[in-house]
Amino acid sequence: MNTANHKRHTLSVLVENAAGVLSQVSRLFSRKGYNIESLAVGTTDDPGVSRITIEVLCDDQQIEQITNQLRKQYSVYSVRLLPPDSSIRRELVLIKVKAESREVRNEVIQIANIFRASIIDVSTTTLTLAIIGEESKDDALERLLDEFGILELVRTGMVALERGRATISDNADNKETDEFELGKNVL
């Protein structure tokens, strides 16, 4: 596959909170041959609705295909491609680092302070840090901690919202959304 025009796209998807829906959404990506870079899912303020944030590397035409295919699913309520310039993206990373001496512990704590990461667990031989940020900040911390020995690392997956007043429900007045709804009409 030609990857020259690939860039990172962030999709926000509102879906029915029901069994099988996550698998339905994620399978769409594998069916079309695209790799999910990151996926985060949780319920919203409405318990019947979940919000999935998906990051995918692909070109503009491919993301259009993915969006279109997502929109025609009955369990998908709304899809929005978040504009990179006006969106905030955050990911929580937990890192367990080897820290067997006092010097190492102090050094790790200093690094954590600089990055505004919090120490959430400590033992005689380890420290566990939590950091929230975008990948550049997380990656920089990860590189610095690498020399002490990272025992474990886990990411939640990126979540994102648009800046300002814009919300995913703004799609409601758009002609394209209407066109998809027409196909879903069951009357």
Partner 1 sequence: MRMKGSQIVMECLLEQGVDTVFGYPGGTILNIYDEFELHGYKEKIHHYLTSHEQGASHAADGYARSTGKVGVCFATSGPGATNLVTGIATAYYDSSPVVLITCNVSENLIGKDSFQEVDITGITMPITKCNYLVKDVNQLADVIREAFAIARSGRPGPVLIDIAKNVTAAEADYAYMPVSEHPNHGRLANMLRRAGRDLKTPEPDQNDIDKLLELIEQSKRPLVLVGGGVIRSKGAVPEFRRFMETLDAPVASTIMGGGACPGDHPLFTGMVGMHGSHASNMATYECDLLIAIGCRFSDRVATSPSTFARKAKIVHIDIDRAEIDKNVRTYHHIIGDARRVLELLNENLPQHDYSEWKDHVFSRKEVPLKKDGSLHPHEILETIQELTGGDAIIATDVGQHQMWSCQYYHFSHPGQLLTSGGFGTMGFGLGAAMGAKVGNPDKVVVHCTGDGCFRMNCHELSTLEHYHIPVITVIFDNRTLGMVRQWQNLIYHKRFSQTDLDRGPDFVKLAEAYGLHGFRAKNQAEFADAFRQALALGTGCVIDCAIDMDAMVHPMVNGGTPVTDFLLD
Does residue 176 touch partner 1 according to CB under 8 A? yes
Measured from the CB atom, is 147 or 181 closer to partner 1? Answer: 181
Give the bridge partners for 86, in sequence order: none
| Secondary structure E strands in the chain | 7-16, 36-43, 49-58, 76-82, 87-98, 118-122, 126-133, 150-155, 159-162
Measured from the CB atom, is 121 or 181 closer to partner 1? Answer: 181
Does residue 170 touch partner 1 according to CB under 8 A? no
Region of 33-41, 74-82, 112-120, 134-142 interacting with partner 1 (CB under 8 A): 74-82
Q: Say if residues 35 and 57 touch (Cβ distance below 8 Å).
A: yes
The residues near 182 (Cβ < 8 Å, ≥ 6 apart) are none
Among 60, 64, 121, 147, binds partner 1 (CB under 8 A): 64
Does residue 27 touch partner 1 according to CB under 8 A? yes
Structure-token pair, residue 183: 């196909």
Q: Say if residues 9 and 80 touch (Cβ distance below 8 Å).
A: no
Among 29, 34, 77, 148, binds partner 1 (CB under 8 A): 77
Region of 23-31, 51-59, 94-102, 119-127 interacting with partner 1 (CB under 8 A): 23-31
Q: Say if residues 159 and 89 touch (Cβ distance below 8 Å).
A: yes
Measured from the CB atom, is 152 or 179 closer to partner 1? Answer: 179
Supply the minimum distance, in Å, between the C-beta of residue 181 and partner 1: 5
Give the number of other Cβ atoms within 10 Å of residue 79's Cβ.
24
Among 44, 60, 74, 120, binds partner 1 (CB under 8 A): 74
Does residue 165 touch partner 1 according to CB under 8 A? no
CA 71 – CA 178 distance, rounded (Å):
11
Number of H helices, E strands in the chain: 5, 9
Measured from the CB atom, is 29 or 148 closer to partner 1? Answer: 29
> Which residues of this chain interact with partner 1, rule CB under 8 A?
19-20, 23-24, 27, 31, 64-65, 68-69, 71-72, 74-75, 77, 172, 175-176, 178-187
